[in-house]
Structure 1
Amino acid sequence: MKRPLYYLLCAIACTSMVSSTMPMAAVAEAIQPQAAAVQQAQADAASSDAGKAEDGPNTNATADTVEDSTATSTGTSAVNTESADGTAAATGTPAPSLRAQANPAPEAISATSQTGYAHSATASQNGVTFTVSWNDAPAGTATTFHVTQANGSSQAKARMDVPTYWDGGSQESVCDPSRPAWASYYSLGTAGHDFTFDFTASGTYRIHFYFMDNDRNDPQNDKGIYYLRTTAEVTVNDAARPSVTQILNNAVALCRQETNGSEYDMALWLHDWTLDQLEYDHSLNWCSAESGLTRHQGTCESYQRIYSKLLDAAGIANGRITGNGHTWNAVKIDDKWCQMDLTWDDTSDNWYGGLDQRHLYFGLTDELMAIAHSDHTANYQKDDYAYRSTDLSNNYFVRNGKADEWTEKCAAANANI
């Protein structure tokens, strides 16, 4: 997936040489054929992020178990008469647990009816009532949402939508709504069905539950319910589960203490701090700053969002770039734009001896980033592109002099192209 690494470094070293006469575009063009062999693998791997790359606006404490956590919940309901496609229910199939520590196989869920819930939300249509009931759960324990129906048919079914998170400074979908687990309806039967979710940060979570009860093949028993919704809101206020904004602000405060305050040093510190917070989520479910900072898992969307929020809090201009089903950051350091890909920097690979591969995508030009993400060529050639990156002065290897160590190797490699 990351085989363009060596060629990128060669390009960085060669273009940083004072004696070099090869223009940037020529270097990129020369390197491109050798990177082409990995482009398909990169595109296949990155395409799994395509559903997230065009998401809406960017909006470390692990959830330790405590007994005195506080959570409050409210419920609202709404009816939408828009038609739905009547997706077949996964009758008899337990809903997968959508907790951070997810197992490869769906987790068995009890359908035993419970009473005495602290919170509930209902929605009614055509004489059928759907109810979502739940209790507050301590940190480290998933909340169970018990969904039931009254006066419905055997076709009654429900699904839980992707939770959204809001803490006053960060609003986002916690998970990727394109994943199959979030689109599946489950039969309610007479006992109902349980869904679970673990709330890992202080703030407000909103979860929509959708219901259907229709049977076009049996008009006499068709309840005609295609799109009915109710909403559960859970507010967490727990010192053991700090909010996303609190985590970000604490990180920036520590950054100011441990750096000289320059934009370069702060951007580098925050880059490294972000990589230490999470691992890439190969299940492709978790795609938010919330998941990256409190569940320590996330896709490229998480890396990009976390870094963007940190830079915003630090007062460093930045932008969002997408391409090849992937997303990364543009960062303005000392009035010069450069490209940063934290997802691809988050590696333990050591292909080239002493090379620090965790900074290979720190401070690239547009042309160099396009070697790894070919769609980016079309991005930076647009007239309205706002993040034109042509300068390598803030590249990690150029800035610390490491590029010179690779000059001879890169010159030899380019001579053989």
Structure 2
Amino acid sequence: MKRPLYYLLCAIACTSMVGATMPMAAIAEAIQPQATAEQRAQADATNSDTGKAEDGTNANAKADTAEDGTATSTGTSAVNTESANGPAATPGTAAATGTATTAPAPSLRAQTNGTPAAISTTSPTGYAHTATATQNGVTFTVSWNDAPAGTATTFHVTQANGSSQAKARMDVPTYWDGGGQESACDPSRPAWASYYSLGTTGHDFTFEFTASGTYRIHFYFMDNDRNDPQNDKGIYYLRTTAEVTVNDAARPSVTQIVNNAVARCRQQTDGSEYGMALWLHDWTLDQLEYNHSLNWCSAESGLTRHQGTCESYQRIYLS
């Protein structure tokens, strides 16, 4: 029993002697796994690549510089090299060409929304008629072709050199035939006060001419954005006018229709004021149905479109 105890004490004493003569760093290195040594070799290689990047030869730095490019308001591609740490670099220098000595910080300007691009279109071609108006360098154009009476005529509205905020509306058409002049529709209806965005392709408005005579339509244009002064063209009230003359024997004017009715009235009554007034009253009621949309309000609409409001009945009777 004494001998095993003696051997154990000897082993402890030997271990203590070795620990005293061998540094702790050496002990740790001796017991370090092989995988750790391989990781250290990889770290050394990474440090070497980082040093190369600091010399301006790292491809990632070029990629970051290329991502800093933005398009200008005219649609031309340009590189924005201004960063948060300094002014824009001069074209042709190392910073402008993407070989900066350090990877550029993300550009603050590149992250903002640029001013909407100005719209520049040429005047529409292929139309028989055009009407234009110009203000502050912006041209507003209405174009249309002749169409048979009773079919919709399209008015193509465009703009040149305006902004993306540009819009237009078509006002109520007015009609006259040598007699009285009137609005064909009720101007208080929302349809005639609504503005539509023109964008880059313009907007189409339509109207159907149903009687011989002259129609005049005003088109209104605005291009302003008070919340964005750089995009505000300062146009709040620009007008151009389309005038269309209809001469179709199959679609007589309001005056012709009324004159024909009066001639029949004289033939079919005794000529008394009461008799003629009653005949014309009944004839008027037969010409149209009440327009529940409240849009049509004229003698033109009542006699040629056969619909109208109370104002239509009154205008027809007074004609």
Decide: shared fold, TM above 0.5. yes
CA displacement, residues 197-247 of structure 1 (integer Å, 9 cap, x when unaligned): 000000000000000000111111210000000001001111011000000
Verify: 1:206 aligned to 2:216, yes or no. yes
Confirm or deny: 8 A CA contact 1:289 1:305 kept in the other structure. Answer: yes
Separation in structure 1 between the aligned mates of residue 217 and residue 142 of structure 2, nearest angstrom: 11
> 1:32 maps to which residue?
none
Confirm or deny: 8 A CA contact 2:124 2:143 kept in the other structure. Answer: no
Aligned counterpart for 2:259 among listed residues 236, 242, 249:
249
Q: 1:287 is paired with a residue of what secondary structure?
A: coil
CA displacement, residues 65-95 of structure 1 (integer Å, 9 cap, x when unaligned): xxxxxxxxxxxxxxxxxxxxxxxxxxxxxxx
Structure 1 ranges of 4+ moved more than 2 A: none
- Report the AA paired with residue 181 of structure 1: A
Shift of 1:139: 2.3
> 1:277 maps to which residue?
287
Confirm or deny: 8 A CA contact 1:139 1:240 kept in the other structure. Answer: no
> 1:128 maps to which residue?
138
Verify: 1:224 aligned to 2:234, yes or no. yes
Verify: 1:175 aligned to 2:185, yes or no. yes
Report the identity percentage: 92
Structure 2 length-normalised TM: 0.61
> 2:299 maps to which residue?
289
| Alignment RMSD (CA, Å) | 1.0
Confirm or deny: 8 A CA contact 1:144 1:197 kept in the other structure. Answer: yes
Aligned counterpart for 2:318 among listed residues 308, 320, 327:
308
Shift of 1:140: 2.1
> 1:97 maps to which residue?
none
Higher relative contact order (CA 8 A, sep 6+): 1
Shift of 1:286: 0.2
1:253-264 alignment to 2 at 5 Å? 253-264=263-274
Shift of 1:249: 0.2
Separation in structure 2 between the aligned mates of residue 215 and residue 139 of structure 1, nearest angstrom: 39
Separation in structure 1 between the aligned mates of residue 265 and residue 213 of structure 2, nearest angstrom: 24
Separation in structure 2 between the aligned mates of residue 216 and residue 254 of structure 1, nearest angstrom: 60
- Report the AA paired with residue 181 of structure 2: Q
Separation in structure 1 between the aligned mates of residue 159 and residue 216 of structure 2, nearest angstrom: 21
Q: 2:220 is paired with a residue of what secondary structure?
A: strand
> 2:204 maps to which residue?
194
Shift of 1:115: 3.4
Count of paired positions: 197
Shift of 1:292: 0.2
Shift of 1:170: 2.1
Shift of 1:308: 1.5
Separation in structure 2 between the aligned mates of residue 212 and residue 183 of structure 1, nearest angstrom: 13
Q: Unpaired runs of 5+ in structure 1?
A: 1-112, 310-417
Separation in structure 1 between the aligned mates of residue 187 and residue 149 of structure 2, nearest angstrom: 24
- Report the AA paired with residue 122 of structure 1: T
Shift of 1:114: 6.4
Separation in structure 1 between the aligned mates of residue 197 and residue 127 of structure 2, nearest angstrom: 21
Q: 1:122 is paired with a residue of what secondary structure?
A: strand
CA displacement, residues 322-353 of structure 1 (integer Å, 9 cap, x when unaligned): xxxxxxxxxxxxxxxxxxxxxxxxxxxxxxxx
- Report the AA paired with residue 156 of structure 2: H
Separation in structure 2 between the aligned mates of residue 245 and residue 176 of structure 1, nearest angstrom: 21
Aligned counterpart for 2:126 among listed residues 116, 135, 145:
116
